[in-house]
Structure 1
């Protein structure tokens, strides 16, 4: 099955549907091989089993990435070792790119519709002074899939501890992506996540800094109560000693 997307977004899909049967239950299942490509040269290829992704192809690293949970099977690659997944994905990529050119010609080359990204920046866990944490920059609702993300700490570019997920499709034909930064919160540090995209006139930057003004008072209150109880004990002990001495 081959389709061109509706509207101005030039997205081509090649979908191969294989109806298979489980050897244990004899219940029919649907196995899909999906290749999606875009005018900017980006290509996505993934395998789905009953609408759940089991693997995708990373063309940048030239490898197959298995997203099937490990509790299902220890080594998912054994299920696909005879299917030549990466080799076939490269064929689909070439075919899909050619199909994009056909879609473009059919539309008489109108400008491609683009959607600018929206981004938010937030910590993964509750922020505690000196305790390692993760900053998450969530970039959403952008099209075409192609963004550049950079991190800074106190105005200086940071690359260590940075990770970037692949693109994930939304139901409205846009995409979302995560990038994370591992860090240790310190007083006065300021972090930023900057996103660049074709639909943006200028880079989009979100800024975050740790806020320790509302640091938990639990330990301080505990120490204060302990000190107060200790002083009361000393006073009570002294009073009893003096009272007993007077009786003598």
Structure 2
């Protein structure tokens, strides 16, 4: 019985729909190919039936896949890694991603996704890497993201849509984010976030990288943040900060 299928870095242009019949598949990696079109229905249904829920790793990144993220992906109850980045996916992140409670890495970077970050993301309690960057996401950063206490890397950066003059993520950076004690890297740069950097950020003792330049933050960066001795702390040039690497171009 085929459990692992790795076809990474070949010149595949499509996938056979019969892949959905591989009931015992645990690892499916077709990253870095030339696959185009929508995600085949049979693949998205691999988690729908109780006999088809064994998938642990799904890698479709770095292709030319279009269309929406199938809502059926939410039924991959054993899935630990889902990489869909560097494609041409559109539409919203479906609320059904909240069903994937075993997920540890969820990456949809570098697509054309829109809409807001679904609050159901709070259910991904085992996640340690969440990459939503380089899309066209809007709305605020939901405070419930602070429930992802195992998170080590959070990428929300570069959601501005310059062509349509949309600022990307807006509102304030929720103070609850200071509860993410395991977080090592936080990227929120290149959005439309505003007001102050919350003092609670200084509670994140594991933090090594914090990039928040190219927003519309104002005021002073909390001095306590400087006490963390971060490897990288990037701010806009006009922010009041004694320890930041200021980006002035």
Q: TM-score, normalised by structure 2?
A: 0.22
Q: Please state which structure has a larger fraction of its residues in helix.
A: 1
Structure label with greater radius of gyration: 1
Q: Please state which structure has a larger fraction of its residues in strand.
A: 1
